[in-house]
């Protein structure tokens, strides 16, 4: 197996050279504040899982919001499937740390909810039902359609949020620390599930995390964001086969590379790092 190598560019590794999202020289600032990030260029290939890693406050969530069309860049441009992006694209979906289920809707209706967004292409009732049932089955919730959010564990609620995203049949799933509120075992289950379902749905993912181990377990590519204003500091392609737990030596090598780079950034000290064997 090849050792993971840092890459010089931030272009997506799509075999056909086709990108679902590309952003060039993005800069962003909140009102009355200095720049959050500057000169950020990113490409995400179709079906590629890209993890954006970095210390707290370096601008990961803000960058995700700009790339998702929820915020407007001060400079630069975002293209989704080759078209300029000015608002969230119907073939994109979002998952956040909190599942944000509507308590008055059952699991099925919560999972359907993303199909009602503006600009989502209309689908008939039968297709809608099939899509939502397929998504719920994929996340292990077949048979729980009538349950209420209050009856779900945190992990189950996050499964509904993932099903809601999948039902939109996204080309690109934006996920901002979707598992950070879950216990370690549930988080590991959800990381495996994410990889499995996005492969099955042929979706690309931009996953924001400050957990190195999460990034290494799921990513095809890891981008390390750092600095004030933030920028993409380093990048690694991850060629370790799934499930990555079966390749501990390669995982440990990459972990040390990423950890060393993260520690070398000013924000590194604030990042969440679980202790690992041999990490002294």
Ligand X SMILES: Nc1ncnc2c1ncn2[C@@H]1O[C@H](COP(=O)(O)OP(=O)(O)OP(=O)(O)O)[C@@H](O)[C@H]1O
Which residue, 52 or 115, is less far from Mg ion as judged by CB?
52
Alpha helices in 121-247 (DSSP H): 125-138, 154-167, 184-201, 212-218
Name the minimum Å distance from CB 61 to ligand X.
Answer: 3
Q: Which residues bind Mg ion (CB under 5 A)?
A: 61
252 binds, among Mg ion, ligand X, none (CB under 5 to 8 A by kind): none
Q: Output Rg (C-alpha) for the chain, integer angstroms.
A: 18
CB closer to ligand X out of 54 and 88: 54
Picked from Mg ion, ligand X, none, the partner binding residue 36 (CB below 5 to 8 A depending on kind) is: ligand X
Residues near 171 by beta carbon (within 8 Å), at least 6 away in sequence: 20, 46, 80, 81, 89, 91, 92, 203, 204
- Which residue, 61 or 100, is less far from Mg ion as judged by CB? 61
Alpha carbon distance 167, 112 (integer Å) = 7
Which of 34, 53, 13 has its CA nearest to residue 220?
Answer: 13
Give residues in contact with ligand X (CB under 6 A). 30, 33, 36, 54, 56-62, 210
243 binds, among Mg ion, ligand X, none (CB under 5 to 8 A by kind): none
Nearer to ligand X, 54 or 155 (CB): 54
Q: Residue 269: phi, psi to the nearest 5?
A: -60, -25
Q: Which does 148 bind (CB under 5 to 8 A by kind): Mg ion, ligand X, none?
A: none
Cβ 280 to ligand X, closest distance in Å?
A: 25
């Amino acid at each position: 197996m090849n050792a993971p190598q840092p890459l010089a560019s931030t272009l997506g590794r799509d075999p056909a050279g086709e990108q679902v999202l590309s952003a060039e020289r993005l800069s962003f600032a909140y009102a009355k504040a200095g720049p959050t990030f500057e000169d950020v260029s990113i490409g995400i290939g179709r079906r590629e899982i890209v993890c954006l890693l970095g210390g707290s406050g370096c601008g990961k969530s803000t960058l995700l919001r700009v790339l998702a069309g929820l915020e407007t860049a001060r400079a630069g441009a975002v293209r989704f499937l080759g078209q300029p992006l000015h608002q969230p694209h119907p073939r994109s979906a979002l998952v956040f740390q909190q599942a944000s289920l509507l308590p008055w809707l059952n699991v099925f209706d919560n999972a359907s909810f993303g199909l009602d967004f503006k600009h989502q292409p209309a689908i008939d009732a039968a297709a809608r039902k099939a899509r939502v049932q397929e998504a719920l089955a994929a996340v292990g919730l077949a048979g729980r359609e009538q349950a209420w959010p209050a009856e779900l564990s945190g992990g189950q609620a996050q499964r509904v949020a993932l099903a809601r995203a999948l039902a939109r049949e996204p080309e690109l799933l934006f996920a901002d620390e979707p598992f950070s509120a879950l216990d370690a075992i549930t988080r590991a289950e959800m990381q495996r599930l994410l990889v499995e379902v996005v492969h099955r749905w042929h979706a690309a993912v931009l996953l924001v995390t400050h957990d190195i181990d999460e990034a290494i377990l799921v990513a095809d590519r890891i981008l390390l964001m750092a600095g004030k204003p933030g920028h993409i500091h380093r990048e690694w392609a991850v060629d370790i086969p799934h499930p990555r737990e079966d390749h501990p030596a390669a995982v440990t090598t990459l972990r040390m590379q990423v950890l060393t780079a993260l520690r070398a950034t000013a924000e590194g000290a604030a990042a969440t790092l679980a202790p690992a064997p041999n990490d002294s």
